Structure 1
């Protein structure tokens, strides 16, 4: 029987791997295998990818290339057994990534955000980056520009405009449900683009609320609505990401990017580490990284450009 050592283990994965249980392969692709154990999802990932809260990072996924949807699995202690392949993933000594802690550079946040939009739209292409290029109109409640011909960008326009309006008006739980009802499951991908945007927005709101307290009820009402709606409106794989974001579990790559882009100690807008982090995020999945980034930018843009919230920013 082949044994594979875990390189890193997310906090949710460590919890799920405790009790003995049986499950099955939910789906697999070249960089990951999704495993289901009842209501819990684990993602066995390839080294080089950032470990997610419910992820197990391995040095190589090559031995798992034969994993097929529906194949049986067994979990016992910290061992994850792929019976059909005779593989055991031993995660007893795998470290749990520590959350990234940082302080926002509040004074320069509006300028940094404007530069980020320019940099991101220059580096990336696709529906999310087309929308990012129109953030001022989107957050201002305007109609989709006529030249926005991309089918998914146009489909996402009104739901994202509703999200911006929800953040601006500090919406209650009922408005959060209405807003998320139209956005969840919308867009291409195993984790639909609309869901990726929600994840990025949740991470951004949680980090920004330290300095902008009005975002706390906005995030909390979104979290409750996500827990209520996501299982019925999107894929199980995407629901796992959404539930993790709603519970405040750390998405290390997103926090690292926010530190590089908005952190107090990283003031140079075009520094190599900042560009590298941005490229890393934009390269995640088919469009997931772009969706994460758009969610971050949408919440940040709405926050710093809302005149009613200017008193939270320091004055010169």
Structure 2
């Protein structure tokens, strides 16, 4: 047996497993009275049904994947705070993540009850085989099952909620900076200047032209480095904002963005754009929206969103501000 435990730092992984088996040096969780989770070592004769499952709080956005038939999957990425798997379904490839409790709460995630510094996740190479379905997710030596569920679509007062004006000003000030013109805003990896895609998006917003904003998506999809390029995050924030704030053309915009994403960006980003089109967002994004309607503290929610990833949080916030403007200008008498 080897133990998923918050052992003291500085001990090699092999030594941790040895001491865990001997029971000589319990980790911090054991000393605090928190029961350690035991996962048997994998072996050819040890099937998934005989493994102890690590509990997680799973997003209802991936409920069909988890509850459906067992399907082969492969590892997309493995880092200390997350393991992402891509799964082939009759509708095409989909993505599900196993995330630590201190990772961004993505709408496709199964959230463990341990932080990354407790090393609860296995380290597996990209492309390694995995399985998803039958109520479980199996990757390497780790089996995860849903102990509870969370809804990634935030509950708002109405289909077209009214936002607190002061809250919107607070979000804009945190994103752009006090006294800084919006035209000066930039994101790493995205071309700036008057001919850049962000300038084109601002122009579409000024004209309340959703079709022009959708055309801008052809320039933003896949633009920027990383597994979730900044251009995609802007579009995810815009799409989800339009859906959740009740823009009448939100469904058309979301369908256009997800269609453009096919073959033009990463698997993870494409999956997140699909969730955005369904109004399914990260916990950090949802907290900001709830704060904007007066449900919860807004300032800490904004800080948490902007701190997400290297550019993701700021790009998502920019997308949300774009959606707010489009909804406002559409509703305003002309």
Both proteins in one fold, TM over 0.5 = yes
- Deviation, 1:152, is 3.1
Q: Quote the residue 1:114 is aligned against.
A: 169
Q: 1:196 to 1:149 in 2, by over 3 A?
A: closer
| Larger RCO, structures 1/2 (Cα 8 Å, 6+ apart) | 1
CA contact (8 A) 1:27 1:34 kept: yes
Q: Quote the residue 1:154 is aligned against.
A: 192
CA contact (8 A) 1:5 1:94 kept: no
In the alignment, which of 50, 53, 56 is matched to residue 107 of structure 2? 53
Q: Is the aligned partner of 1:310 residue 2:329? A: no
Q: Quote the residue 1:14 is aligned against.
A: 63
Q: 1:71 to 1:192 in 2, by over 3 A?
A: same
Q: Is the aligned partner of 1:134 residue 2:134? A: no
- Deviation, 1:106, is 3.8
Aligned residues: 274
Q: Is the aligned partner of 1:301 residue 2:325? A: yes
- Deviation, 1:259, is 1.7
Q: Is the aligned partner of 1:36 residue 2:83? A: no
TM-score in terms of structure 1 length: 0.75
Q: 1:7 to 1:89 in 2, by over 3 A?
A: closer
- Deviation, 1:251, is 3.6
Q: Quote the residue 1:281 is aligned against.
A: 305
Answer 1 or 2: which has greater helix percent. 1
Aligned partners of 1:186, 1:156: CA distance in 2, in Å? Answer: 17
State which structure, 1 or 2, has the greater radius of gyration over its C-alpha atoms.
2
- Deviation, 1:35, is 0.2
Alignment of 1:186-225 (within 5 A): 186-209=223-246, 215-217=247-249, 219-225=250-256
Q: 1:15 to 1:199 in 2, by over 3 A?
A: same
Alignment of 1:82-121 (within 5 A): 82=139, 85-91=140-146, 93-97=147-151, 99-103=153-157, 106=162, 108-109=164-165, 111-121=166-176
Q: Quote the residue 2:288 is aligned against.
A: 257
TM-score in terms of structure 2 length: 0.71
Q: Deviation digits for residues 125-155 of structure 1, max 9, x if unmatched?
A: xxxxxxx9432x4xxxxxxx5x979763517
Q: Quote the residue 2:74 is aligned against.
A: 24
3-state SS of 1:95 partner: strand
Q: 1:36 to 1:118 in 2, by over 3 A?
A: same
Aligned partners of 1:53, 1:309: CA distance in 2, in Å? Answer: 29
Q: Is the aligned partner of 1:242 residue 2:296? A: no
- Deviation, 1:296, is 0.8
Q: 1:106 to 1:40 in 2, by over 3 A?
A: closer
Aligned partners of 2:295, 2:137: CA distance in 1, in Å? Answer: 40
- Deviation, 1:156, is 9.6
Q: 1:247 to 1:116 in 2, by over 3 A?
A: closer
Q: Is the aligned partner of 1:77 residue 2:134? A: yes
